[in-house]
């Protein structure tokens, strides 16, 4: 456990933005640069310390994941390709305010959001659709994807359908043309290293190249690339192709639900004009200063929370903290304020 001298000054949050040595992913280094000049978003170190203390005062909860039942790629050898397709399509599920969301029915239950996507792909496997086959994906027709993602009666189709069709075809084409149809070969080329695999996804698949620009410099968030690495390890139980090392080197997965919850906890603070924009459901363009600042703050809020927990004798990866926050964000709070609205394929 670190001593008191390691505790950051609570009145100087920017000074706490010290990227780890050997930041091969580059996300924390780049987002620290963003936040040092941020105008609309800040972090509250006292709130981070308070949350860390609250979490550290009780045992870390056992996983409450109910997702295992939704992850059904069929045969184990199909799991890597299934996971890659899952996370190629894993973005932007929210509907317009006051309107119904895309929902999927499977095995007598109704699902929305990410759960609906996992259920839809598992349902397709159950129906005998080879969603794991690279050749099949490369020539995927719109009507076929519409059937796979078919919503419940009276629910709308999933947002950004055309973009999802493009991304699914890209998965098939790149696997077919460069990797003998197997995502497992991408993993092998990355030598089962988490950071190398995330960077390979960014390099090989344009839909995973989640890199913003800030003052002329790239800012890699790589949300879906990183979550794909973590999902592959989790869904395979860390065995065989999922025996990926270095998960602790990944950052949080910068989406729209985490900053919503972190804002409620007082960890992320919006300037009044940004708060008004978010709370009025006004769209924030992808790559704009407000959006990049929000996502940068999300990565660093989780990183500083990870460090605060470590000072209290609890070691948890950013991915573990991300999952705990995401799980808590699925329960609506009475005082809940909106999440920021950005239409993008990256989260």
**pLDDT tens by residue, 33-71:** 999 999 999 999 999 999 999 999 999 987 645 567 899
* Residue 222, in any domain of the structure: no
Taking CA atoms, 65 is separated from 69, 71, 75, in Å, by 9, 11, 22
Based on the fold, state whether residues 10 and 99 are members of the same structural domain. no
* Residue 284, in any domain of the structure: yes
* Residue 188, in any domain of the structure: yes
* Residue 216, in any domain of the structure: no
CA 210 to centroid of chain Cα atoms: 11
Mean pLDDT of 291-303: 98
In which domain, by residue range, is 302 found?
1-62+251-347
CA angle, 282 then 286 then 288, to 5°? 85
Based on the fold, state whether residues 86 and 204 are members of the same structural domain. yes
344, pLDDT greater than 90: yes
Based on the fold, state whether residues 48 and 116 are members of the same structural domain. no
What is Dmax (Cα atoms) for the chain?
61
What pLDDT does 5 receive? 47
What pLDDT does 331 receive? 86
Mean pLDDT of 131-156: 98
pLDDT tens-digit profile of 225-249?
Answer: 999 999 999 999 999 999 999 999 9
pTM over 0.75? The answer is yes
CA angle, 246 then 249 then 253, to 5°? 115
| Tokens 């924390």, residue located | 28
* Residue 217, in any domain of the structure: no
pLDDT tens-digit profile of 182-239?
Answer: 999 999 999 999 999 999 999 999 999 999 999 999 999 999 999 999 999 999 999 9
Based on the fold, state whether residues 93 and 164 are members of the same structural domain. yes
- Residue pair 252/221 in contact (Cβ under 8 Å)? The answer is no
Based on the fold, state whether residues 94 and 175 are members of the same structural domain. yes
- Average pLDDT score, the chain: 95
Q: How many domains does the chain have?
A: 2
* Residue 246, in any domain of the structure: no
Choose among 18, 16, 3, 1: nearest CA to 48: 16
Give alpha helix (H) positions in the chain. Answer: 27-36, 45-56, 79-88, 113-126, 134-138, 142-148, 161-178, 183-189, 194-204, 223-235, 257-264, 272-279, 289-311, 318-329
Based on the fold, state whether residues 319 and 269 are members of the same structural domain. yes
Range of weakest confidence among 120-129, 138-147, 309-318, 323-332? 323-332
Based on the fold, state whether residues 129 and 47 are members of the same structural domain. no
Based on the fold, state whether residues 83 and 131 are members of the same structural domain. yes
Based on the fold, state whether residues 50 and 82 are members of the same structural domain. no
Last residue of a domain, one of 211, 231, 265: 211
Based on the fold, state whether residues 130 and 257 are members of the same structural domain. no
* Residue 35, in any domain of the structure: yes
Catalytic positions are 255
- Output phi, psi for 243, to 5 deg: -80, 65
| Tokens 């184990």, residue located | 76
DSSP label at residue 338? P
Last residue of a domain, one of 163, 183, 211: 211
* Residue 240, in any domain of the structure: no
Taking CA atoms, 286 is separated from 10, 183, 260, 291, 344, in Å, by 31, 29, 17, 6, 6
286, pLDDT greater than 80: yes
pLDDT band at 3 (very low <50, low <70, confident <90, very high): very low
Based on the fold, state whether residues 76 and 56 are members of the same structural domain. no
Dist. CA 232–CA 324, nearest whole Å: 18
pLDDT tens-digit profile of 260-269?
Answer: 999 999 999 9
């Amino acid at each position: 456990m670190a001593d008191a001298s390691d505790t950051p000054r609570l009145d100087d949050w920017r000074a706490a933005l010290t990227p780890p040595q050997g930041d091969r992913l580059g996300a924390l280094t780049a987002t620290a640069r963003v936040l040092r000049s941020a105008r609309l978003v800040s972090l509250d170190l006292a709130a981070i310390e308070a949350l860390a203390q609250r979490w550290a005062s009780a045992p870390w909860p056992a996983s409450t994941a109910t997702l295992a039942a939704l992850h059904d790629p069929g045969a184990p050898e199909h799991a890597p390709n299934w996971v890659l397709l899952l996370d190629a399509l894993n973005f932007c599920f929210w509907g317009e305010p006051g309107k119904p969301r895309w929902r999927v029915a499977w095995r007598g239950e109704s699902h929305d959001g990410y759960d609906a996507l996992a259920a839809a792909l598992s349902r397709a496997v159950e129906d005998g659709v080879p969603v794991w086959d690279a050749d099949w994906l490369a020539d995927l027709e719109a009507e076929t994807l519409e059937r796979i993602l078919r919503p419940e009666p009276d629910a709308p189709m999933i947002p950004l359908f055309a973009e999802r069709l493009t991304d699914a075809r890209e998965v098939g084409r790149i696997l077919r043309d460069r990797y003998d149809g197997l995502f497992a070969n991408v993993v092998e080329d990355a030598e089962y290293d988490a950071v190398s695999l995330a960077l390979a996804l960014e390099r090989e698949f344009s839909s995973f190249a989640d890199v913003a620009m800030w003052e002329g410099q790239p800012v890699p968030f790589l949300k879906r690339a990183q979550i794909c690495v973590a999902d592959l390890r989790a869904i395979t139980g860390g065995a065989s192709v999922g025996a990926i090392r270095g998960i602790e080197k990944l950052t949080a997965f910068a989406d729209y639900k985490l900053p919503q919850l972190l804002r409620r906890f007082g960890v992320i603070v919006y300037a009044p004009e940004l708060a008004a924009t978010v709370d009025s459901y006004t769209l924030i363009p992808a790559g704009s200063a407000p959006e990049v600042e929000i996502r940068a703050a999300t990565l660093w809020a989780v990183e500083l929370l990870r460090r605060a927990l470590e000072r209290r004798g609890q070691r948890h990866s950013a991915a573990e903290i991300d999952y705990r926050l995401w799980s808590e964000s699925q329960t609506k709070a009475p005082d809940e304020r909106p999440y920021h609205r950005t239409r993008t394929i990256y989260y």
